[in-house]
Amino acid sequence: MLRYALPVLAAIGAAQAQCSAAATLTVQNAPDASALASCTTFSGSIAIATGTSDLINIPNVRQITGDLVIQNAPNATSIGADSLEKVGGDFTVNNCQVLSSLSFPQLVDVGDLSLQALPNLNMLGFTTNIGSAKSLNIQNTRLSTLDGINLQKVNSIYVANNRLLQEISFQVSAIPQNMILESNGDRLSASFPNLQTASNLTFRTCPTVLIPSLRNVTGSLGFYENTFTSIFAPNLTGIGGTLAINTNNQLTNVSLPVLRIVNGGFQVQNNSKLTGASFPKLETIAGALDFYGSFDSVTLPALKDNRGAFNLQSTGDVTKDCATFKAIQGPNNVIKGKYVCQGKVTNPGNIGSTPTSGQDPTKKSDANAFNPNTAYYSGFAGVLAAMFGLL
């Protein structure tokens, strides 16, 4: 009987070895992928060989406990896994120049999801929808839609330089780290109907942004060079860092009706069509207020504490509003820092300028500005501005 048992045990041992790897298992070709058909779980990481040109499908595997890496494979055209539901580590698809098909119809849960430098990938084959990821990073693809990704849980999002991408819509309610959207399609609609809280949010060159449920941003919130006409956040009450609304050339309306506190700097700068700014419930600005542009009216009727500098410069006539602010300015008053308020200025500028300097408002350097490249701004620059404003 032993002579029959030994081959069986050997076969079981071979199958178990095939379903795990101490290091990364490299799939060289289609037969290598098919050889995993006996595994429902693969313990370890899998990488697709850089030199493969085969159509790769990993059958039957439902879970990969480590990473799945498809990277620097210039000849790969189609890669998939028909039963894969979860990647416990990172799912990376980077720098695959001719890849045109990703087919993962059952995939719902991944670690860090990275899709980068994929000039021929115009759609995702994530039929069931990926709902959970630690992070999402999509850059330089040909994707026109993110159908197949509908996140309910994610820590950070970076979507940039996808020139054909016209829609992003996620159901996520919280983003504990950062979200940056920039330089995507010229008709992009970015919708986050359930988003209530986030750490840092940056929207740059976006045609449409919808954040109707947003209540609190613990870090900074920035709108830069967007093409939308309105910013509407009807439930936003607090900003933990800086709030920046800068160089949005089509912007005509900002509606933040219940915003009460900005714990960093507050910037509304160089929005050429924005003639009015009213924040009816805003009580506290812990950093500096720095508004310049084409205002005819700026009102802050609930303001109780502006701890940093106060700079309002406009090409329009804001004489009446400046008189209101002047009445509450002083070291022991509401506006405590360095104070500048003037209308009918030819070249209005930021905190470091004077109304008669002729400064070009497009060439500005403001210590309060949120740096979207780091996405970890904590309001420290706003606090510094507030400190210097008190001098």
Single-letter residue type at 106: Q
Q: Are 159 and 183 in contact (CB under 8 A)?
A: no
The half-sphere exposure of 137 on its side-chain side, counting CA atoms within 13 A, is 13
Q: Which two tokens stand for residue 8?
A: 């069986």
Q: Could you state, in chain order, the average pLDDT of each consecutive group of 10 residues for the chain (391 residues)?
A: 42 57 94 96 97 96 98 96 97 97 97 98 95 97 96 97 96 98 96 98 98 98 98 98 98 98 98 98 98 98 98 97 97 96 95 64 38 37 37 36
As a whole number of angstroms, the distance between CA 190 and CA 89 comes to 27
Provide the b/e sequence for 228-249 (b: ≥16 CB within 10 Å). Answer: beebebeebebbbbbbbbbbbe
pLDDT for position 142: 96
Instruction: Count other Cβ atoms within 10 Å, centred on residue 48.
Output: 25
Q: Residue 101, by phi and psi: left (phi above 0), alpha (psi -120 to 50) or beta?
A: beta
What was the pLDDT predicted at 14?
Answer: 40
Q: What is the pLDDT of residue 18?
A: 85
8-state DSSP, 301: T
**Cα–Cα distance, 349 to 365 (Å, whole number):** 10
Q: Strand 149-153 and strand 167-169: pairing?
A: unpaired
Q: Please, how many CA atoms are within 13 Å of residue 383, restricted to the half-sphere of its CB? A: 9
Q: Indicate the Cα dihedral angle 215, 217, 220, 221, nearest 10°.
A: -30
Q: How many CB atoms lie within 10 A of CB 389?
A: 24
Residue whose C-alpha is closest to residue 123's, from 101, 98, 91, 154: 101
* Amino acid letter, residue 7: P
DSSP 199-210: EEEEEES-SEEE
**Tokens for 20?**
């795990």
User: What predicted TM-score, i.e. pTM, was given to this entire model?
Assistant: 0.86
Tokens coding 195:
């988003």
